[in-house]
Amino acid sequence: MTSLPTNSPTKKLGLVIDLDICVGCHACAVNCKEWNTSGHSAPLTDQDPYGADPSGVWFNRIHSFEVENEKTGGRTVNFPKSCLHCEDAPCVTVCPTGASYKREEDGIVLVNADHCIGCKLCSWACPYGAREYDEDAGVMKKCTLCVDKIYNPNLPEESRVPACVSTCPVGARSFGDLGDPNSDVSKLVESRGGYDLMPEQECKPTNKYLPPRPKKQGSPENDTMALTPMADSSAGVISRWVDKFLSA
Amino acid sequence: MKDGIVTRDQRVDTAPFVSDEVKLTTCYMCACRCGIKVHLKDNQVRYIEGNPDHPVNKGVLCAKGSAGIMQQNSPAKLQKPLLRVGERGEGKFKEIEWSEALELATGWLKDVRDKDPSRLAFFTGRDQSQSFTGWWASQFGTRNFAAHGGFCSVNMAAAGLYSIGGSFWEFGEPDWDLTKYFLMFGVAEDHDSNPIKMGLGKLKTRGEAKFVSVNPIRTGYSSIADEWIGIKPGTDGLFVMALIQELLKSDNVDWDYLGRYTNAAWLVIQDPGSAQDGLFARDKDGNAFVATAKDGLKSVQDTDADPVLVGEYQLESGQKAVPAFQLMAERYLSEDYAAEAVSEKTGIPAETIRRIAAELAKVAFEEEIVLDIPWTDWAGRKQEKMIGRPVSMHAMRGISAHSNGFHTCRAIHLLQMLLGSIDVPGGFRHKPPFPKPCPPGPKPAGHESKANTPLGGMPLGFPQGPEDLLVDEQGNPKRIDKAYSWEYPLAAHGLMHMVIHNAWASDPCEIDVLFMYMSNMGWNSTMNVPDTVRYLTDKKADGSYKIPHFIYSDAYHSETVAYADLILPDTTYLERWDCISLLDRPICSAHGAADSIRQPVITLDRDVRPFQDVMLDLGVMLGLPGMTDDTGAAKYPGGYSDYMVNHERSPGIGPLAGWRGEDKSGQGRGAPNPDQLNSYIENGCFWEKHFTPEQSYYKFANKAYLEEAVYMGFMGAPDPVVMQVYSETMQKFRLAAQGHGDRQPPEHLRERVGEFFDPLPLWYVPFEEEGLDEEKYPLHAVTQRPMHMYHSWGSQNAWLRQITARNPLFMHVDTAKELGIEDDDWLWVKSPHGRVKGQAKLMTGVNKYTVWTWNAIGKRKGAWGLKDVAPEATKGFLLNHIISELLPSKEDGYRYSNSDPVTGQAAWYDLKVSIEKCQEAECGETSPMLDAQDAIPNKSDCLEISRYGAALSGAPSGKDSLPHEEWIGNREENASSSSGIRTGHGNRIAETQGEEGTK
Amino acid sequence: MHPAKSVIFFTTASGGGYGLLLILLLGNVFNLLPTYIFFLLVCYGLAFILIAAGLLSSTFHLGHPERAWRALTQWRSSWLSREGVMAIVTFIPTGLYALYVIFFQDSFSALMELIGLVGAVCCVITVYCTAMIYASLKTIHAWSNRFVPYGYLLLSLTTGMVLITGMMMVWGYDTGIFGWLSPLLLLGSLYWKVSYWRFLDQTKSVSSPESATGLGEFGAVSLLEAPHTEANYLMQEMGFSIARKHSEKLRKIVLWAGFGAPFILLAFALFQAGVIGGIAAVLAVVLAGIGIFVERWLFFAEAKHTVAMYYGAKDA
Ligand SMILES: Nc1nc2c(c(=O)[nH]1)N[C@H]1C(S)=C(S)[C@@H](COP(=O)(O)OP(=O)(O)OC[C@H]3O[C@@H](n4cnc5c(=O)[nH]c(N)nc54)[C@H](O)[C@@H]3O)O[C@H]1N2
Ligand SMILES: Nc1nc2c(c(=O)[nH]1)N[C@H]1C(S)=C(S)[C@@H](COP(=O)(O)OP(=O)(O)OC[C@H]3O[C@@H](n4cnc5c(=O)[nH]c(N)nc54)[C@H](O)[C@@H]3O)O[C@H]1N2
Ligand code: SF4
Ligand code: SF4
Ligand code: SF4
Ligand code: SF4
Ligand code: SF4
Ligand SMILES: [Mo]
């Protein structure tokens, strides 16, 4: 049954992405591709890899946006996006074959490549663009939350995390159980005001985004801070020093 | 139709086998040198991940590093030695055997060495084995050697070394754990690729520090800055000097620090016209004098003296002298550097300059850090605490790639000195082997060039005065690149960007063999593509090439390959031994010394050879002294790995510092240990030695550190490194220009040397802009490095090129509006040197007078294993088409290099341009468009579809899944700023808990 | 949304087919149609061919057509699955009834009438299911609105009606009520389409670049760099956009070719039976076919997906 798990999973594994520190380096995207091209959904096919129109299957992609605000000035925000492992995942319910499903045990949304007919409907249903059609294989693929890595006893502990998470050089990505309010990731989300993308689409994404922090200290709108000169002229400054140090 | 038929078996194999084997080595997708774990299956790479134990990257990996798989699979990999059969530039080659290739090369080189070794120009680009290649050059006997630093960032290196004994690049780092204010100038990525990212993440997550980025462009690091200062290119010096004025005026300087650790108190002779003017007043032992409030003049060696930094004093000679500080203060207190005065030129409002100064002062002096770490200074004075001024700075090519970069960089160091924030808690920290004595040594070798004779030392070094220049009697340059001449006296890294031009022009000398390694000098690392390819292909009247022989070693089919006569194909970084040595550019951090190796993890499948092995073989065939024994037999028959273990630079000191001596206990010193490489491999291919807390800061004056540095061979003696507010070295050159001493610049260079060899940081209009019609070329044009591409070599990578396969010209929306330009419009970008075509992309986070693009995306057709229709070749463009390595001619017709007049650093970012929309018919393809270069013989086909990985998928292991572990990026920092989160890095809580818990 | 030809053909062809089938079933049950065997053969044949060709073409865009049967399994949650199931289910009563009415029409049977009515209901449900595949996609504002299911049903009926009218005229039958209904339905469709476009032009998705990124509190969001410089699957599939000028032109074609001209032609034919009327009717059918094909093309091309906002679209 491709309906969602009847009793929605208590464990909701997912990612927390800190937009305050993401520098947009694409490391998570490439490391993801690297792990997954021989992983559960292998291969992440590339079309025309050396030609005019290279394109391939990626589970994670990095956008960058400019945000303009006349009052506070603008900012640039780098924005990684992969599957958000939604609680009410429309990609699952629209799937006519049952190939798209949400795991009962941890809420991970996966595609069973042996059953997928490649109708692409799930990619239409996902508001976030998290589904990746592999033209060559004729099936839909997507972020697996590295399901073949996070539980894998053949890897050392520090590798049993999603590839994108352990590789992120700035540490902008965290991974854990967002269904457990006492987990560290939940606390992180709580303390940083983590939010959902497009809540109005009512998918209840598991992944959370941490907003950029307010800017520190002074800013151009508040340019009043200045040091007090000790003398009016440069000659004055120096003679003051002479007085201060030589007559001490 | 119930569940059975639908879900069949949706259980996923959560425990597949991953790989046959995991081998550790060092990444070389860029120069950062991170530790990697390579998962291998059937001699293919299954997965590359960061080595969590490695001091550089601590388990993280950038986009490039993660794409190593696709570098290994690149269709551009060279296959076999190549001999040119067509004309230069066509790219027509035939494959030859190694024996033939080596004989050919030896023939050309032997000729040269028999005549005059300096007729070999050996330049090695992005070399990570410079101590080896430099040594090879000196054994050969040519002074004409350098790596890429001259066009890269020698301004930063030289300004740093001549000012504070260390420098930015990756040779120092902010104190990421403690800094409270981080000011970054002109950095998009830098060599410390992962460490900077890790540091920024940490710093921002700690939540208490402010990060200010001074950069015309607000992307990447600047995008996460708390404040972005969108400065006009080339004006940072003015900005910094205005900050200095604010601090001086308000008494916000660290008097004690300046007095103790810098030469601010040293008395400078004020005797205009005399040969001593501007030099330090010294006693007969050469020690400078300082003035005290009560006891008159004292030697700097007098550790009890409490120097004052101002006043005017009479010397025994009758000459007047003032402390260097006062000269400095007088200059920057001038109206020229008032916030208002620099505001328009820099594009930064005066109020903002004042506020930044105030913020710096506040953090430095009101929020000082005190660490309870007792330490002893060089003079034996015990200190109870370590005082930290938690302001840190970092700068890179946004500063250095301007013709005023040396002085600007010195100004930044001066600012740091005034704030007392160098190598203190929370400040900028040196990484070993820095700090080094200041001014630095050793001096460049190569005054003489004798047939079949090695040089007396290493070709690159640091002049300390006119006497160290490599010039002839008339003052003309001796080196092919004119480094260490009066034109570029402190050219500590050479001027690789001038070699091809100068060799073509036979100015200042002729060469017979041009030998290059790992630098795409025919394309993205030349400043001037159209002319450079002309120099390489130009012929004499007799039909022979003006540059007679060109040997090149590359691993891939780059643009430069097409111009060489003989190609010595190298392996990839996963196929060879390499040595990242303390003798050149090690992987140290502020926490301690470290070095590392690369080991071959993949078996070679082509007829290519590691370049260093080839150099040793050539050395043997040429009979070079260091490489052969008395019988002429190879001294390192095992090749480079043999050299890595057994070579000794001085007794007990070799390329690798770890596990030396018979018992492997030697750290830094000890006899060669035949088993050394195994020890490295067992340890993950790196060695590291942590400093004690006592050695960690104030290294320039810290006895415990200085002694360690001497033991490790970083320094000759445990003397303090005195930072140079005022550079006497510079003044020595200036005095020569003023007519003093027996070595003086030739007439036409007097003024130039006199002007630019200012002992105090100076600001001047970048050369390209000087005299340029502002109206005609109103915009600055610069490039930035994409974080996921390494110069030219990322485009052959099937994954990385999917991210960026073409580069637009980014510009401010307002600027675009004025010109009627919209997104994707085709534009001509024009400079006085030419024009290039590209497409527009509008944005707001950019200085309005600046346009920019990503560096090195544009490719020549046919290169890099790509199809001719690749967007890199048809839509991408290089700004290098419109830069010039030469400045417009002076009155006397002479054209200086487009470089910094002190160091010879290439001034890439001085470029000024105008923008014009293309005609309808001109749209669609970039220009200039060179003919396609031929494919290499037996090139492997470009895949139409790549299914890499399909065959490497792991079989089920049948083991049980383990419970998932929570993982938080900056766990420790998050723990300190968000309540309830456990501490410990990443998911290694268990392991680090104890350690952290006790904190 | 990328206007994939196979899907456009599927919805237009099978839509018309089901419309025609529905009218045939009702027409026969209520005795409103000629009973000439060849006429019925051709009409039912055409309906089934349109339906079958549509369904077949819809499998062309599948990555794995050979697994298409799996699409029948998820009827409890997926409209696509329901549509597949209904399409098959519909064949049973409609097929039975068609055979009956063509070959055994003399033997009147209440049961068969009932089967015919069930078949008619099935046709409606199937078209409704098709419509709901689109209308249930919250991600696409142009589709997830009440206009879509009505529109699909209406257009299906209209095409069917135009087809049957055309058929009858070609055969020289008196079109009776169909002759009146066709132009009326065409007018209705025209009204519906215009209302739909007004809705499209005047409303936007509840989602915006600001909500897509969650960065609205900081200001107006615009794309600086997409993840890739060349188009990826998402952009090709969901990022398709059509220039305003272009869409205005095509809308006119839909209005005139799809509805206006057939209306005039059929109205004309209503009063002008005979050869000229027949020609007009055929022309009407052809024009309506073209118009509705363009309509369906626009239905995709004008539909914006939320994903496009991650790639620079200002709204969805
Ligand atoms: N417009 C503009 N131009 C610039 C710059 C800029 O900012 N703007 N930056 C300048 C700077 S700072 C630099 S450092 C230069 C860098 O430019 P280059 O020095 O040209 O560096 P790369 O393009 O990275 O690569 C050099 C060559 O090394 C080869 N190579 C890669 N791996 C190996 C290997 O393992 N063995 C061997 N033998 N060869 C290998 C590559 O194939 C390539 O041909 O560019 C300069 N050019
Ligand atoms: N991913 C990646 N990493 C690399 C490299 C690479 O090619 N790719 N190359 C390596 C090499 S060789 C080098 S040299 C380093 C260089 O590393 P960076 O110094 O980071 O080099 P650039 O990308 O040239 O960045 C220069 C920055 O200075 C800014 N800038 C330009 N002019 C000015 C100015 O006048 N003032 C100020 N304040 N800013 C200015 C530009 O906007 C840009 O952001 O990176 C190394 N690391
Ligand atoms: S993000 Fe998209 S693909 Fe992932 S679960 Fe949600 S709807 Fe499905
Ligand atoms: S493409 Fe595959 S996974 Fe997606 S809806 Fe169709 S059958 Fe399901
Ligand atoms: S969790 Fe795994 S599959 Fe998903 S984006 Fe990260 S690395 Fe890719
Ligand atoms: S690796 Fe980290 S910093 Fe880089 S793009 Fe991904 S989330 Fe951002
Ligand atoms: S920064 Fe990236 S490419 Fe450079 S060495 Fe480290 S992992 Fe490799
Ligand atoms: Mo560089």
ipTM of the complex: 0.97
Q: Are B386 and B425 in contact (CB under 8 A)?
A: yes
Q: Residue B291's pLDDT band (boundaries 50, 70, 90)? A: very high
Task: Tell whether A44 lies on the interface with C, counting CB pairs under 8 A.
Answer: no
Residue A52 shares a structural domain with residue A134: yes
Q: How far is B794 from chain C (nearest CA, A)?
A: 14
Residues lying with their CB under 5 A of ligand 8, a single-atom ion: B 152
Residue A63 shares a structural domain with residue A82: yes
Which is the closest atom of ligand 5 to the Cα of A82?
5
Residue A168 shares a structural domain with residue A229: no
Burial of B761 (0-12, 13-18, 19+ CB in 10 A): buried
How many helices (H) and strands (E) chain C has is answered by 11, 1
Residue A125 shares a structural domain with residue A26: yes
**Averaged pLDDT for residues B792-804:** 97
Q: Answer yes or no: is pLDDT of B48 > 80.
A: yes
Tokens 């696509």 appear where?
A: C80
Check residue A153 and report its DSSP letter. T
| pLDDT tens-digit map of B821-872 | 999 999 999 999 999 999 999 999 999 999 999 999 999 999 999 999 999 9
**Averaged pLDDT for residues B373-402:** 97
Q: Answer yes or no: is pLDDT of B877 > 50.
A: yes
| pLDDT tens-digit map of B205-256 | 999 999 999 999 999 999 999 999 999 999 999 999 999 999 999 999 999 9
Q: What is the pLDDT of residue A2?
A: 55
Residue span of the structural domain in which A225 resides:
221-248
Closest chain A residue by Cα to residue B312: A242
Q: Answer yes or no: is pLDDT of B273 > 80.
A: yes
Q: Which residues have C-beta within 8 Å of that of residue B808, sequence separation ≥ 6?
A: B824, B838, B839, B840, B841, B853
Q: Let me know if residue A5 belongs to a domain.
A: no
Q: Is A117 in the pocket of ligand 4 (CB under 6 A)?
A: yes
Query: What sign does the CA torsion over B612, B616, B622, B626 have?
Result: positive
Q: Answer yes or no: is pLDDT of B276 > 90.
A: yes
Task: Tell whether B813 lies on the interface with C, counting CB pairs under 8 A.
Answer: no
Q: How far is B221 from chain C (nearest CA, A)?
A: 15
| pLDDT tens-digit map of B605-644 | 999 999 999 999 999 999 999 999 999 999 999 999 999 9
Degrees (nearest 5) of the Cα angle A24, A27, A33? 125
Q: Is A85 in the pocket of ligand 3 (CB under 6 A)?
A: yes
Q: Let me know if residue A86 belongs to a domain.
A: yes
Contact check, Cβ <8 Å, B802/C75 = no
Q: Answer yes or no: is pLDDT of B2 > 50.
A: no
| pLDDT tens-digit map of B153-183 | 999 999 999 999 999 998 999 999 999 999 9
Q: Give the residue among A132, A50, A45 at the shortest CA–CA distance from B947.
A: A45
Q: How far apart are the C-alpha atoms of A100 and A1, rounded to whole Å?
A: 10
Pocket test for ligand 1, best of B148, B516, B518 (most atoms within 8 A of CB): B518
Q: What is the pLDDT of residue B7?
A: 41
Q: How far is C136 from chain A (nearest CA, A)?
A: 9
Q: What is the pLDDT of residue B999?
A: 30
Q: How far apart are the C-alpha atoms of B326 and A246, rounded to whole Å?
A: 13
Q: How far apart are the C-alpha atoms of C302 and C205, rounded to whole Å?
A: 13
Residues in chain A closer than 8 A to C231 (CB atoms): 53, 55
- Per the structure, the count of domains in chain A is 2
Q: What is the pLDDT of residue B209?
A: 95
Residue A226 shares a structural domain with residue A130: no
**Averaged pLDDT for residues B365-375:** 97
Q: Name the region of B532 (left: φ>0; alpha: ψ -120 to 50; beta: rest).
A: alpha
Contact check, Cβ <8 Å, C229/B803 = yes
Q: Residue B995's pLDDT band (boundaries 50, 70, 90)? A: very low
Q: Residue C156's pLDDT band (boundaries 50, 70, 90)? A: very high
**Averaged pLDDT for residues B95-108:** 98
Q: Let me know if residue A216 belongs to a domain.
A: no
Q: How far apart are the C-alpha atoms of B432 and A45, rounded to whole Å?
A: 45
Q: Residue C5's pLDDT band (boundaries 50, 70, 90)? A: very high
Q: Let me know if residue A3 belongs to a domain.
A: no
Residue A105 shares a structural domain with residue A186: yes
Which chains have 3 or more CB–CB distances shorter than 8 Å to chain C? A, B
Residue A59 shares a structural domain with residue A126: yes
Tokens 């986070």 appear where?
A: B845
Q: Which long-range contacts (CB under 8 A, 24 or more apart) does C281-287 make?
A: C281/C165, C281/C166, C281/C169, C281/C170, C282/C166, C282/C169, C282/C170, C284/C162, C284/C165, C284/C166, C284/C182, C285/C162, C285/C163, C285/C166, C287/C257, C287/C258, C287/C261, C287/C262
- C-alpha separations of B110 from A8, B564, B581, B861 in Å: 78, 19, 29, 36
Q: What is the pLDDT of residue B904?
A: 98
Backbone angles phi, psi at C306, to 5 degrees: -55, -30
Residue A234 shares a structural domain with residue A171: no
Q: Let me know if residue A1 belongs to a domain.
A: no
Q: Answer yes or no: is pLDDT of B893 > 90.
A: no
pLDDT in tens, chain A (248 residues): 456 776 667 899 999 999 999 999 999 999 999 999 999 999 999 999 999 999 999 999 999 999 999 887 899 999 999 999 999 999 999 999 999 999 999 999 999 999 999 999 999 999 999 999 999 999 999 999 999 999 999 999 889 999 999 999 999 999 999 999 999 999 999 999 999 999 999 999 999 999 999 887 666 667 788 999 998 888 899 999 999 988 75
Q: Which residue has the higher pLDDT, C175 or B758?
A: B758
| pLDDT tens-digit map of C54-108 | 999 999 889 999 999 999 999 999 999 999 999 999 999 999 999 999 988 776 6
Q: Residue B119's pLDDT band (boundaries 50, 70, 90)? A: very high
Q: Which residues of A34-71 are buried (b: 16+ CB within 10 A; e: fewer)?
A: bbbbbbbbbbbbbbbbbbbebbbbbbbbbbbbbbbeee
- Percentage of residues in chain C with pLDDT exceeding 90? 89
Q: How far apart are the C-alpha atoms of B973 and B967, rounded to whole Å?
A: 13
Q: Answer yes or no: is pLDDT of B987 > 70.
A: no
Contact check, Cβ <8 Å, B805/C75 = no
Q: What is the pLDDT of residue B988?
A: 64
Closest chain A residue by Cα to residue C81: A96
Residue A150 shares a structural domain with residue A227: no
Degrees (nearest 5) of the Cα angle B619, B621, B624? 40
Q: Are A130 and A143 in contact (CB under 8 A)?
A: yes
Residue A124 shares a structural domain with residue A243: no
Beta pairing, strands B145-146 & B120-123: parallel
Tokens 């609205």 appear where?
A: C216
Residue-range domain boundaries for chain C: 1-136, 142-152+164-316
For C30, the token pair is: 């209520």
Q: Let me know if residue A7 belongs to a domain.
A: no
Range name among B489-493, B887-891, B916-920, C105-109 with the lowest pLDDT average: C105-109
Q: CATH number, domain at A121?
A: 3.30.70.20
Pocket test for ligand 7, best of B38, B194, B785 (most atoms within 8 A of CB): B194
Q: How far apart are the C-alpha atoms of A120 and A140, rounded to whole Å?
A: 7
Burial of B269 (0-12, 13-18, 19+ CB in 10 A): buried
Mean pLDDT of chain B: 95
Cα of C126 vs centre of ligand 3, distance in Å, is 27
Q: Residue B585's pLDDT band (boundaries 50, 70, 90)? A: confident
Q: Which of A1, A19, A37, A132 to mutate to test the interface with B (most CBs of B within 10 A)?
A: A37
Q: Give the residue among B142, B137, B147 at the shortest CA–CA distance from B618.
A: B137
Residue A120 shares a structural domain with residue A186: yes
Task: Tell whether B11 lies on the interface with A, counting CB pairs under 8 A.
Answer: no
Q: How far apart are the C-alpha atoms of C268 and C265, rounded to whole Å?
A: 5
Beta pairing, strands B428-430 & B513-517: unpaired
Burial of B707 (0-12, 13-18, 19+ CB in 10 A): middle
Q: How far apart are the C-alpha atoms of C246 and C237, rounded to whole Å?
A: 19
Amino acid of residue B700: F
Task: Compute the CA torsion angle B833, B837, B838, B842 (nearest 10 deg).
Answer: 70
Instruction: Nearest by CB to A227, from B221, B357, B798: name it.
Output: B357
Residue A132 shares a structural domain with residue A169: yes
Q: Answer yes or no: is pLDDT of B6 > 60.
A: no
**Averaged pLDDT for residues B10-29:** 94
Q: How far apart are the C-alpha atoms of B277 and B51, rounded to whole Å?
A: 55
Q: Name the region of B237 (left: φ>0; alpha: ψ -120 to 50; beta: rest).
A: alpha
Q: How far is C103 from chain B (nearest CA, A)?
A: 35
Cα of A118 vs centre of ligand 4, distance in Å, is 5
Task: Tell whether B8 lies on the interface with A, counting CB pairs under 8 A.
Answer: yes
Q: What is the pLDDT of residue B990?
A: 52
- C-alpha separations of B74 from B95, B519, B568, B681, B942 in Å: 19, 18, 18, 27, 9
Q: Are B459 and B445 in contact (CB under 8 A)?
A: yes
Indicate the SS3 state at residue A74.
coil
Q: Give the residue among B153, B87, B950, B846 at the shortest CA–CA distance from B491.
A: B153
Backbone angles phi, psi at B183, to 5 degrees: -110, 120
Amino acid of residue B600: P
